[in-house]
Structure 1
Amino acid sequence: MSTRGNVLFVNHFWLEDSGITEEDIINNSRYLEGAIENSYKIYVHSDMYPSGAIDDLQEFLRLDGAKHRATDSSYLSAWFVGWKCLDMSRWTRSFSDRDFDAQKNRNPSLKNFKESRDFFGIGLLQEISDWASYSYLIIPNIIEENGIYQFDENSFDILIYDSDFRKFLGLINSEDGLEDIQHEEWWY
């Protein structure tokens, strides 16, 4: 069975206008609800368990295009979908026709796809998916200089939650790696 996940890119204008920080989002459910409401939401059908998803998200967020689009969450979200689809396309093309037919026999949800490249397993959402096992909230880091808050174009924080955002699981920075893990048993 696939490990499904939600990926949410928080709208930078909402963060900037409200002055809300990641600590506010982690510690106050009202701010978390605001971050969710003001995010671009993406559903990924597989490989979203933290030990796999974090590597993918960090790889994506380290790309120059992502770093320089920290303040453009709509573009960043669209680019993530395209990047993920290209990644899935490379993966599915690695199957021979016989391998893909075997996959279709084991997974009935693939039965309507004629070729492996017809299946990307990613979508855009208006609301978070309740099918997901994990949710990842992507927040551009905000730095303060002389009392002025600005976005740090070189790093993002990834806040990890359970599927319905009721339980905060950890914080990972796109540049530095693991910062805080509260529940190690969920990592794999």
Structure 2
Amino acid sequence: DWVLRRACLDAVALNRGEHAPLTMAVNVSPMQVQRPGFVASIERVLAETGLAAELLEIEITEGVLMDSTDHAIDAIEGLRALGVNIALDDFGTGFSSLSYLKRLPIQKLKIDRSFIRDVTCDENDAAIVEGVITLAEKLGLTVLIEGVETREQFLYLRERHPTYLQGYYFARPIPLDALTDYLDRFDQHAVLRDLAGA
């Protein structure tokens, strides 16, 4: 609860800047989703902090479906009714049940970093990444690829997959004030120059 409230407050502060709108993603555990009053607690934090619901993204893992699947889906649907976005994190490392995937009211799939580490040299990893992206596109989902740590991975993925990338190649975890400075200095054209090899 403290992490969620702090993240929402930080998101409000970040969205006062010139880089708005910025979405804040917060991981929640399967236990939190199963807890009675979970959706109400999210709604309360949004009201207390003043963060617009559409600027919050709750990240869940496939483990959230292990116990009381119907309850978990109801909770996720409750969040969607508030306007909160939902991402399925670490996709491909759990049960990856396609029957659950078609039932979940999610907007984003996050491909786990374990498939990215050797994506440039392992045909199986490359095939899995391509397959998940194709599946997600057919389901109308956004894709985010986690664990991009090298220029080689970045160029390989960016050339083949027009999707979102995340990882240490772009930045490591930093305090809020350093993040604000980073955003102020960030040159959107730098990524394009990097892609072009400039």
TM-score scaled by structure 1? 0.23
Q: Which has the higher helix share?
A: 2
TM-score by length of 2: 0.22
